[in-house]
């Protein structure tokens, strides 16, 4: 296959989504560009929501989803909000399990120096759907050795 044709191959997973009543005016999560990994989640607030510096808020998105077993959805921060306003997701990435059927909501925290106001429809986070596997632990008396060993927390950097 010609490597330039690979962009035409898209893996697509169908996921059921339900817009909660009163949120039909908001677009469903969507990819902003052809190669984006995450879809934008939008604020389904009824009126402007102000987050003071150091404060946090649970922001509704107005949608529920039904992921297939073997997948998770990760809620991740938007880099522009973090850089320009100090808006982060304190539990990033947040995980949405395949058996969760409630409304997706995003915990936003303001680490900036000024209040931040969220308007209805603002893009507040990204949603990345990814496969995940279940594991079965196998207790062993020892682990195999590697050159790295137990080195961690900056061990490989300077």
The pair of structure tokens assigned to 158 is: 């300077």
* pLDDT mean across residues, the chain: 92
Tell whether pTM > 0.95. Answer: no
pLDDT > 90 in the chain, percent: 84
Q: Does domain 15-131 have CATH number 2.70.40.10?
A: yes
Confidence category of residue 9, pLDDT binned at 50, 70, 90: low
What's the confidence (pLDDT) of residue 43?
Answer: 98
The pair of structure tokens assigned to 138 is: 């196998």
Q: Identify which of 118, 94, 126 has the alpha carbon closest to the alpha carbon of residue 45.
A: 118
Q: What is the 3-state secondary structure (H, E, C) of 121-156?
A: CCEEEEEEEEECCCCCCCCCCCCCCCCCCCCCCCCC
User: What are the structural domain ranges in the chain?
Assistant: 15-131
The mean pLDDT value for 91-109 works out to 97
What's the confidence (pLDDT) of residue 46?
Answer: 97
The mean pLDDT value for 82-95 works out to 96
């Amino acid at each position: 296959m010609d490597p330039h044709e690979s962009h035409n191959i898209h893996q697509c997973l169908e996921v059921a989504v339900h817009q909660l009543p009163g949120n039909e005016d908001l677009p469903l999560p969507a990819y902003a560009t052809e190669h984006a990994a995450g879809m934008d989640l939008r604020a389904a607030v009824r009126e402007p929501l102000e987050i003071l510096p150091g404060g946090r808020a649970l922001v509704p998105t107005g949608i529920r989803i039904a992921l297939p077993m073997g997948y998770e959805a990760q809620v991740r921060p938007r880099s522009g909000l973090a850089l320009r306003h100090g808006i982060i997701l304190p539990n990033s990435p947040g995980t949405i399990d395949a058996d969760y059927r409630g409304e997706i909501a995003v915990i936003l925290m303001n680490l900036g120096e000024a209040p931040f106001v969220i308007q209805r429809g603002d893009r507040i986070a990204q949603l990345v759907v990814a496969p995940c596997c279940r594991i079965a632990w196998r207790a062993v008396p020892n682990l195999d050795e590697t050159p790295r060993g137990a080195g961690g927390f900056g061990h490989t950097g300077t």
